[in-house]
Structure 1
Amino acid sequence: MTTAQTGGPALLTGRTALITAGASGMGRAGARLFGAHGAHVILVDVNAAGALAVAAEIEANGGSAEAHGADLCDQADLDRFVTAVKSRHEVLDVLHNHAGVTGPRGLEFDVASWNACMTLNAWVPAYLTQQLLPLLRGSDAASIINTASTAGLRGVAGLPVYSATKGAVIQFTKATALLLAPEGIRVNAICPGGTDTAGMRAAFQEGAVDASLSAIAATVPLGRVGQPEDIAAVALFLASDASKYMTGTVIPVDGGATV
């Protein structure tokens, strides 16, 4: 990518970055931004057609990308995806564990809904970190970025299961940051606040969240909800050398809402 295309120097030239749930919302915004900054982007999403479309968009803009369709909650599918990545790549510079699901509302959960939420939100990032660590060790600038949530920092009354999973992501981030620091592998987390995505709007419609975008905006000191590009910009920072002295950090990107 050129300086003109990125609005500044390309920050990820020559690097390979994997983004889960890259077909829409914050994941799509991150994939596009990583691609614009010179990374080869590996996208995976349960929406295979959506992932292919984002990869095509990145390539149409002069970048490099590949798309994989996989249901990461299905262990066999998850393993097939890991095998595919290992067969195509010897080095991975950025692992952005972004995929997540809101999960059951209130205390209306059973073992199946609890496990489904915990699997995608906590098990998948942990498993990908474990399985792709040999590829990350091949990088001289490895960065793992986990998408947590402000719900993992302060809890959301209507979403205790989701809050629990995101709290788990935060503690996994901190523990693995300590574990991998001697190898120079950085691990950080982003905690988005209310962000205007199709998934968030669907949660409102389904009654999973007792709010609206305008109601959330009214509680935010900066006076608006987040946009996917706001989260992508922080992911780019954590993926790049601009954050090379940061590990174990948990960054709220919420317009000041958790202050």
Structure 2
Amino acid sequence: MTALMRQNPALRPSSRTQSYAAIKAAVVHYTASHALTLAPDRIRVNSVAPGSIEFPGGSWEQRKKSDPKLYEGILRSVPFGRLGTPGEVASAVLFLASSHAGWITGQTLVVDDGQVLT
């Protein structure tokens, strides 16, 4: 597996998931454009780009069984050596929706434990 395949498809090209990467990139651009459009009305628009998230019944749990080599490769691409949880993504969303993020708009918050850096 190449490093290119492990990076967040919203922010990096992907040779393995081209259509998915294009849609993710469109969400990043749409977020920024929508934020600019709504800023005069003081409406903030942000998005979250999660990394590899594991939960019961999810695709990574299935991949752990069906393709352990791929799963282990993904684990190696995450600096802390584990996949994220839905709760960790939810915490980021709660932050962006809170008054603590009151001066943040047009941003895509990458929640991936630095996976995009590898």
Matches within 5 A, 1:63-142: none
Match of 1:178 among 36, 41, 47: 36
Determine which structure has the larger strand proportion and give its number. 1
**Structure 2 gap ranges (5+):** 1-6
Residue aligned with 2:109, SS: strand
Q: Which runs of 5+ in 1 are unaligned?
A: 1-148
How far apart, in 2, do the equivalents of 1:257 and 1:196 lie? 14
Structure 2 SS opposite 1:191? strand
| 2:81 corresponds to | 223
| SS of the residue 2:46 aligns to | strand
TM-score (norm 1): 0.38
Query: What is the one-letter code of the residue matched to 1:220?
Result: V
Which residue of the partner structure matches residue 244 of structure 1?
102
Tell me how far apart the structure 2 counterparts of residues 164 and 229 of structure 1 sit (CA, whole Å). Answer: 26
Which structure ranks higher in relative contact order (CA pairs < 8 Å, sequence separation ≥ 6)? Answer: 2
Q: Counterpart of 1:218 in structure 2: which amino acid?
A: R
**Matched pairs, number:** 107
Shift of 1:257: 1.3
Partners of 1:189 and 1:249 within 8 A in 2: yes
CA RMSD between the two structures: 2.2
**Residues 176 and 187 in structure 1, CA contact (< 8 A), matched pair in contact too:** yes
Greater Rg, structure 1 or structure 2? 1
- Aligned pair in 2 of structure 1 residues 203, 177: CA closer, same or farther (>3 Å)? farther
Equivalent residue for 1:199? Answer: 58
1:75-115: CA deviation from partner (whole Å, max 9, x where unpaired): xxxxxxxxxxxxxxxxxxxxxxxxxxxxxxxxxxxxxxxxx
Residues 177 and 187 in structure 1, CA contact (< 8 A), matched pair in contact too: yes
The 1:153–1:223 alpha-carbon spacing in structure 2 relative to 1, beyond 3 Å, is same
Q: 1:202, CA displacement in angstroms?
A: 6.7
